[in-house]
Amino acid sequence: MLRIMRKMVQRRSHWLTAALALFMVLWVGQLAAADQPKVAIAFLLDDSASITSSNFAMELKGLAQALSDPSIMPLDSSVEVTVLQFSSTVRNTLPLQTITPLNLISITPTILSAIQEGESTDLAAGLRAATAVLQLAPSGARQIICVITDGMPDDPVQALIAATDALGSGVSQIDALGVGRMVDANFLSALVSPQPPATFAIVDSYQALVQAIAAKVHQFAMPPGGPIGAASDKELLSLEGLLHGQESLIRSYADLLQTQWQTLSPEDRFARTASLEHLLHSQQDLLQRFAALIDSSVCPQNGANPQLVFVKSLENLLHSQADLLMRFEQTLMAFGQPPAELIASLESLIHGEGDLVNHFESILHCLSQLPGGVPADLWNGLLGSFEELIRSQEDLIRGFSALLGS
């Protein structure tokens, strides 16, 4: 009888895993079909020996933050991005891919995992490689190469020849960002083309470079004249639908884990609970992006039409996330002696929930500044929900304290 029950549980577990995978595939297909990319951007990062490891890490962090920020980067499949590094050799750090709410999650860790070569500065080879990658972009997409460097290339003449060849091969424009005192403004002026729209900028520090990268990403990704940070209904609807579907499947997974708990070995209990934790982290990442898009739609300084229906949807999703975290906490209590790795994961999830609650408070503040105000019933309901979210956060912290004492 026990063997039959285990087989039934395994079939249900496999079905749920397959359903989650199918759900993700369908959403990727839906988002990809929504728009063909209108622009393909190749970021070409200098990782030569003249750049310290800490400055290179800051460069990577700045690019990763800019590319994964939905207030800068549209999520409607209109932008493709690739990242290449050049020194003595050229490496493709981030393969050319269309930006959607799904792969936005993986961009940051992929870029931050890049390893610095730290040798010479073969910009010509980097430009040729970036041009080759951009040939994979859809026909009609605007192709842009953005060089980020701290000095002169090994062979400036060959680099300018490679730039000319790139423009002859379909690349629309070449831009550049220079950092530090060794950058030659005359060389960058000759490199960027056509002018306009191509431009270059030189900053004096890597802290300033982070801001310059964000400005470049926004310049490339957003249509000319478009409102800064304004989110389209299509972007919000796509992410909202994904989150609601994801929430339903995570809840089903948690139900299944609870049902099969007594039949699982200690190793399987750990593995299934770790999978639940991974799903919850993924949900939090998407919720942060959804909240950022809503923030850009309701804050008066962005000049956008308030998307109040999405604020209500975010409120419901935050309550659901808090409930799922409470269930995750209860699952850890069922271990008796919870594994230290899972306790650390719970701590991270509680911090993430706190960040989301703070973001919700920021959105409420923006709503309070709207010239036309917010209907009284909606406003009172949102304030009540905010108080409930704070109480849920307190309950999670109390449960976490109890786990630490177990």
From 17-31, 52-66, 159-173, 243-257, the region with the lowest mean pLDDT = 17-31
The count of other CB atoms within 10 Å of the CB of residue 404 is 10
**Structural contact between residues 96 and 130, judged by C-beta atoms closer than 8 angstroms:** no
Counting residues of the chain whose pLDDT is more than 70, the rounded percentage is 84
pLDDT of residue 117: 93
Q: Where are the alpha helices (DSSP H) in 261-339?
A: 266-298, 308-333
pLDDT, mean of residues 26-38: 54
Q: How many Å apart are CA 308 and CA 299, to the nearest integer?
A: 11
The answer on pLDDT for 176 being more than 60 is yes
Instruction: Decide: residue 103, CB within 10 A, 0-12 exposed, 13-18 middle, 19+ buried.
Output: middle
pLDDT, mean of residues 358-382: 82
Q: How many Å apart are CA 368 and CA 160, to the nearest integer?
A: 53
pLDDT, tens digit (0-9, with 9 covering 90-100), for 270-319: 988 988 888 888 788 778 878 877 877 766 554 445 567 788 888 888 99
The answer on pLDDT for 7 being more than 50 is no
CATH for the 233-405 domain, from 1.20.272, 3.30.70, 2.40.50, 1.20.190: 1.20.190
Q: What is the CATH number of domain 39-221?
A: 3.40.50.410
pLDDT of residue 153: 94
- Cα R_g (the chain), whole angstroms: 24
The answer on pLDDT for 19 being more than 60 is no
Beta strands in 99-216 (DSSP E): 142-149, 173-179, 200-203
pLDDT, tens digit (0-9, with 9 covering 90-100), for 86-107: 999 999 999 999 988 777 778 8
The answer on pLDDT for 183 being more than 60 is yes
Domain residue ranges of the chain, discontinuous segments joined by +: 39-221, 233-405
Kindly report the average pLDDT of the chain as a whole number.
Answer: 82
Higher pLDDT, 202 or 224: 202
Q: How many helices (H) and strands (E) does the chain have?
A: 12, 6
pLDDT band for position 406 (cuts 50, 70, 90): low
pLDDT, mean of residues 11-29: 47
pLDDT of residue 15: 46
Higher pLDDT, 105 or 232: 105
